[in-house]
Amino acid sequence: MDVAITGIGLHPFGRFDGVTVTDMGVTAVKAALAEADNPRFEAAFCASVYSGVASGHKVLGALGLTGVPIVNVEAGCASGGAALMLAAHAIANGQYDTVLVFGMEKMPKGIIRSSFFEPWREEGGLAVTPAYFALRAQRVMRESGVTKAHLARVVVKNRINGADNPNAMYQKATTVEDVLASRVVCEPLHLHMLCSPNEGAAAVVLQRARPGDGTVRIAAAALRSHLPGSVLGEATPMSGIDDLGITPPSSHAADAAYEEAGVGPSDLHVVECQDTDAARELLGYEELRLCERGGSAALLESGATERGGRLPVNPSGGLLAKGEPLGASALGQVVEITQQLRGTAGARQVDGARVGLAHTVGRGANAAVVILTR
Amino acid sequence: MSTATRPLSDNLFRERPDGSIVLVGGYSPSSGRTHFPRLAACPYTGADDVDEQELPTDGTLWGWTAVTARPPGYDGALPFGFGVVELSDGLRVITRLTVADPDALSFGQPMHLVTDALQTDDDGTTVVTYAFAPDEASATDGGDV
């Protein structure tokens, strides 16, 4: 795709009392547009889940930038990836030359209430998101030889990276002992193995690329949903489970993105992947084909996914350090990978990174995989 | 004090004459697939030839955890067990578990269907849900030991 990222912007991820979700979107959009020299954009795609009616219109309305088509996109944790896919392909297909993509969120506190669940499931205690994460984690442990120590090590790795990210919610490293000492939310997941739902915004400006301009390019942007029966992953089982041999949505999205970009897992230099909980990152290694099925614990143990390793994963600190504002998280990954490929990631810089992948997956199920090159 | 009860939802299970319950799923002859709870169309193929089907009341434990913090919309006891049971016909169902101590459960452990009181409404009506219990616990109720 001849689509360039010419501007990036962030509102930090964290908790910001008194700052509205529209305020945060405005901050990120202004920064991204300024970096791109304030181009006229022909359309805007806005990602959010909990921001209510016409949330993207409110952000652009606050900036006097309405009039163009504004499409609000909800695809769970992958909302930003979905918005980016729509925008990048609109340019690639010749519809537009310049498109604004942004996402923002102000998440409720505590266990998230989701209209995904029918009322009887809530009343019956069957609508508990971290409990579904726990069942998935337990399965990864059973099928891939992952231990609680591995889960804690993922947290330690990402929190070390987050300590160098001024936009992260947690900018302090932690230890395996401290992770395992945090309270159990749903066995086997301790509190510090789960990301914090929080607040933030991210924006990118996409423009038709000019040959040889040296910009970061979108090589692929793929979105997939789950296949029937493929359910103890992200879809959250609603009607029985029979997922043996069914390819998960993250693998479908990854395969589509690798094909679109003309690169394979071995060509990647840096990855940002969904780490809603520590086991989700390890499952991501396998689903994104960074290792063979069952090989995630060995890949982690090898140190390859640490900063300075062969294939650093979540150099931004991931969601475990940044927290997860649903609509902003995927675009936050794209901002990080763009900085990595530009060589402007500062203390988090992965040396020589030229090909990067960003992965989000969540309820729906929705899985998005974006590949950037420079 | 009322002794009235109401099921968590009307289409999940039915009571048998002996007071036990059975889960009510759906079966699509054209797809050959069973699902639970019963839907209007087969979730694998969209076919609308869904027949009501009573599901096996026994199975094995496939996944489990315990919920320790109160989730939104839930007024029952804490902590409580939550997991997946693979029924003897192969269908896996999401379910409440009667055991809330994860260390007391193990993969593949035999389980059977029971009822569990969730909470009591303001008018004294007890809300009853389906749940699965380890077979060991059934040794005293005359079950198949």
- Is the pLDDT at B139 greater than 80, yes or no? no
Interface residue B96 vs chain A (CB under 8 A)? yes
- The predicted pLDDT at position B43 comes to 86
The pairing of strands A43-47 and A98-106 is parallel
Question: Hey, which residues 105-124 in chain B have their CB within 8 Å of chain A?
Answer: 107, 118-119
pLDDT tens digits, one per residue of A323-341 = 999 999 999 999 999 999 9
Domains of chain A by residue range: 3-110+193-373
Q: Which residues of B touch A115 (CB under 8 A)?
A: none
Distance of CA A349 to the CA centre of its chain: 19
- Is the pLDDT at A134 greater than 60, yes or no? yes
Least confident of A40-44, A136-140, A338-342: A136-140
pLDDT above 70: percentage of residues in chain B: 92
- Is the pLDDT at A232 greater than 60, yes or no? no
- List Cβ neighbours of A350 (8 Å cut-off, separation of 6 or more): A269, A270, A307, A312, A315, A340
- Is the pLDDT at B80 greater than 80, yes or no? yes
Q: How many CA atoms lie within 13 A of A199 on its CB side?
A: 17
For the packed helices A278-287 and A148-162, what is the interaxial angle rounded to 10 degrees? 90
pLDDT tens digits, one per residue of A263-312 = 999 999 999 999 999 999 999 999 999 999 999 999 999 999 999 999 99
Q: Which residue has the tokens 């990602």?
A: A47
Query: What is the H or E stretch that residue A298 is in?
Result: helix A296-301
Q: Where are the beta strands (DSSP E) in A277-354?
A: none
Interface residue A301 vs chain B (CB under 8 A)? no
* φ, ψ of residue A315 in degrees (nearest 5): -65, -20
Whole-number Å distance between alpha carbons of A214 and A221:
20
Closest by Cα among B127, B102, B106, B124 to B116: B127
Q: Which residues of B touch A148 (CB under 8 A)?
A: none
- Is the pLDDT at A230 greater than 60, yes or no? no
* CATH code given to domain A3-110+193-373: 3.40.47.10
Q: Which residue has the tokens 């423009």?
A: A207
Q: Where are the beta strands (DSSP E) in A17-159?
A: 43-47, 70-73, 98-106
Interface residue A191 vs chain B (CB under 8 A)? no
Q: Do A361 and A234 form a contact (C-beta atoms < 8 A)?
A: yes
Q: Which residue, among A128, A129, A182, A227, would best test binding to B if mutated, counting the most B CBs under 10 Å from its CB?
A: A128
- Is the pLDDT at A233 greater than 90, yes or no? no
- The predicted pLDDT at position A117 comes to 85
Amino acid found at B92: R
pTM of the model: 0.94
Distance of CA A189 to the CA centre of its chain: 20
Number of H helices, E strands in chain B: 0, 10
pLDDT above 70: percentage of residues in chain A: 96
Q: Per-residue pLDDT averaged across A174-202, rounded?
A: 97
Q: Which residue, among A114, A187, A232, would best test binding to B if mutated, counting the most B CBs under 10 Å from its CB?
A: A187
Q: Do A207 and A42 form a contact (C-beta atoms < 8 A)?
A: no
Interface residue A134 vs chain B (CB under 8 A)? yes
C-alpha torsion sign, points A216, A208, A252, B84: positive
pLDDT tens digits, one per residue of A16-39 = 999 999 999 999 999 999 999 999
| Confidence category of residue A246, pLDDT binned at 50, 70, 90 | confident
The pairing of strands A3-14 and A98-106 is unpaired
Least confident of A103-112, A174-183, A214-223, B107-116: A103-112
Are residues B71 and A125, on separate chains, in Cβ contact within 8 Å? Answer: yes
Q: Per-residue pLDDT averaged across B111-140, rounded?
A: 88
